[in-house]
Chains A and B, each alone.
Chain A
Amino acid sequence: MKTLSKLEKILESGKFAVTSECGPPRGVNPDVIRKKAELLRDAVDAINVTDNQTSVVRMSSIASCIILKQMGLEPIMQMVTRDRNRIAIQSDILGAAAHGINNMLCLSGDHQRFGDHQKAKNVYDLDSVQLIQTVRHMRDEGKFLSGEPLDGVPGMFIGAAENPFADPFEIRVPRVSKKISAGVEFIQTQCVYNLEKFEQWMDGIRARGLHKKVYILAGVTPFKSVGMARYMKTKVPGMDVPDELIERLKSVAKEKQADEGIALCIETIERLKKIEGVSGIHIMAIEWEEKVREIAEKSGLLPRPKV
């Protein structure tokens, strides 16, 4: 064990992990994030807190993580390199560690073209791979990037994302290997809808023995409606939604589509659990946190282990 992370403890002990996520509010009210997080208590092991996802300004990930921490929950602080240079990044890592945040997800972040501040300047002093290196360096070497020593080290369990469905497909396994070289310890994947392609990606992961070097948590997102499935297919970059899933949702009455979406998600989890090298599930129920417990329950993921 390198950190005090509960997520690391669960994964290290060989137990199947479950994580979920909370999007912070577009305002100052902490009760919004408290309410969402409370829905996830005991349903998952750790909760990702997004960092201005889709480049839409929200309450900061770090502040929202502190709120979760105060509630006795286990946050995973997402950090994008879009908005901070190495000075701000290292400073925020120290601040997060001081508040007992023990998990971090290193991301490049959506381009500001998607958000509500398209005229912004982006930073990208580091990329996601270099952010992994940075945290790892601070934690294991006890030094800043400058080489100066740190007083105490941030005990972060270090994660990153990978999208097995983005192009070019051939580099999606080498890219995980690259992140492992940089020091990543767990990977949360983009939402899996195309199981065949995901299995193909996992074959590549196992062929190189990467599943023994990093914990892979497969991402799932339940569809609320056929409209949402179509939106994900056509409008969200790097998303792979097979037509048969859209047909299946279309085949049920409109008021039953949400239930069908949940059923589909549970079936996906059942299949993912059987894939060698998958160490956990990351349930991203977008603005639908109240369904996470039901999904976990029906997928046989409850109760969560006490560690």
Chain B
Amino acid sequence: MIIGEGKPIQEILAMIADKKKILVVGCKGCVTVCSAGGQKEVEILSSTIRLAREKEDNPIEIREETLERQCDPEYLEQMRSYIDDYEAVVSLACGAGVQFTAEKYRRIPVYPGINTNFIGVTVEQGVWSERCQACGSCILHKTGGICPIARCSKSLLNGPCGGSSKGKCEIDPDVECGWQLIYDRLRELESLELFEEVVPIKDWSTGRDGGPRRIIREDLKS
């Protein structure tokens, strides 16, 4: 899923400093699962904003909503009936949700309430970790199911570099060396011969480097 985390409250307060009536909108998708932008976070953020503004003797009216998803037009449509009553939206969705909301409602500004960090997994309660960089051309079958692009600090396709020490990456003793993980996994799978294959120069054009991406499925188009 997409992992995000709440922005510092001061940053959000600065965005809405001149607003009197705002909408705080959460998303029941990924950001609910990673506790960054679900209904609970909408409530907490809204109360915090109200309190801060009351303290400044500058009260603000906030409506709290949490949509099923902010990355689908049908759910965004649900705000149509009331959005015009507000001066701004603070969206707690991922960057895609914030943008899609802004795209659908052009009259008022839409501000990000969270930072969108990565595509990752819940390692344990309260701990998330990156797994995928959405390069658009998966090679996990060659690397023991561990992605060197996301898990190696240098995204080396033929790692590890000389900075791998006791399973850790040179940049931080708390970061695992992605290539040590790949090596260990290939050994478990008795597929170490894959390690000796030179991984060819990658075509990055399937990733962000090829420009903004889109997928069109003719079979599904209406």
A joins B in a complex: yes
Chain A interface residues toward B at CB < 8 A: 82, 86, 108-111, 113-114, 122, 124-130, 133-134, 145, 161-163, 166-168, 170-171, 174, 177-178, 181-182, 190, 237-238
Partner of A178, one of B163, B165, B167, B198: B198
Q: Is the CB of B158 within 8 A of A128?
A: yes
A-B residue pairs in contact (CB < 8 Å), sample of 18:
A110-B170, A113-B153, A114-B171, A125-B202, A129-B158, A130-B158, A130-B199, A133-B198, A133-B201, A145-B201, A161-B162, A163-B162, A166-B160, A166-B161, A166-B165, A167-B166, A174-B196, A178-B196
Provided the pairs A111-B170, A124-B154 are in contact, do residues A238 and B162 lie with their beta carbons within 8 angstroms?
A: yes
Partner of B170, one of A122, A128, A134, A237: A237
Whether, in the assembled complex, B204 has its beta carbon less than 8 Å from a beta carbon of chain A, the answer is yes
How far is it, in angstroms, between the C-alpha of A82 and the C-alpha of B171 when the chains are bound?
A: 14
Q: Is the CB of B164 within 8 A of A167?
A: yes
Q: Is the CB of B196 within 8 A of A177?
A: yes
Whether, in the assembled complex, B180 has its beta carbon less than 8 Å from a beta carbon of chain A, the answer is yes
Within 8 A of A (CB), among B158-202: 158-167, 170-172, 177, 180, 183-184, 195-196, 198-202
How far is it, in angstroms, between the C-alpha of A266 and the C-alpha of B34 when the chains are bound?
A: 58
| Residues in B neighbouring A113, C-beta threshold 8 A | 153, 170-172
Q: Is the CB of A125 within 8 A of B204?
A: yes
Provided the pairs A111-B163, A111-B170 are in contact, do residues A171 and B154 lie with their beta carbons within 8 angstroms?
A: no
Q: How large is the interface on B (under 10, 10 to 19, 20 to 34, 35 or more residues)?
A: 20 to 34
How far is it, in angstroms, between the C-alpha of A178 and the C-alpha of B159 when the chains are bound?
A: 10
How far is it, in angstroms, between the C-alpha of A166 and the C-alpha of B154 when the chains are bound?
A: 16
Q: With A113-B153, A237-B162, A237-B163 given, can you name 16 additional A-B contacts, CB distance below 8 Å? A: A109-B154, A110-B163, A111-B171, A113-B171, A127-B154, A130-B157, A130-B200, A134-B201, A166-B162, A167-B167, A174-B195, A178-B196, A178-B198, A181-B196, A182-B158, A182-B198
How far is it, in angstroms, between the C-alpha of A162 and the C-alpha of B180 when the chains are bound?
A: 16
Provided the pairs A111-B171, A127-B154, A177-B196 are in contact, do residues A171 and B160 lie with their beta carbons within 8 angstroms?
A: yes
| Residues in A neighbouring B200, C-beta threshold 8 A | 130, 133
Provided the pairs A86-B201, A133-B198, A167-B164 are in contact, do residues A178 and B158 lie with their beta carbons within 8 angstroms?
A: yes
| Residues in B neighbouring A122, C-beta threshold 8 A | 154
| Residues in A neighbouring B158, C-beta threshold 8 A | 127-130, 178, 182
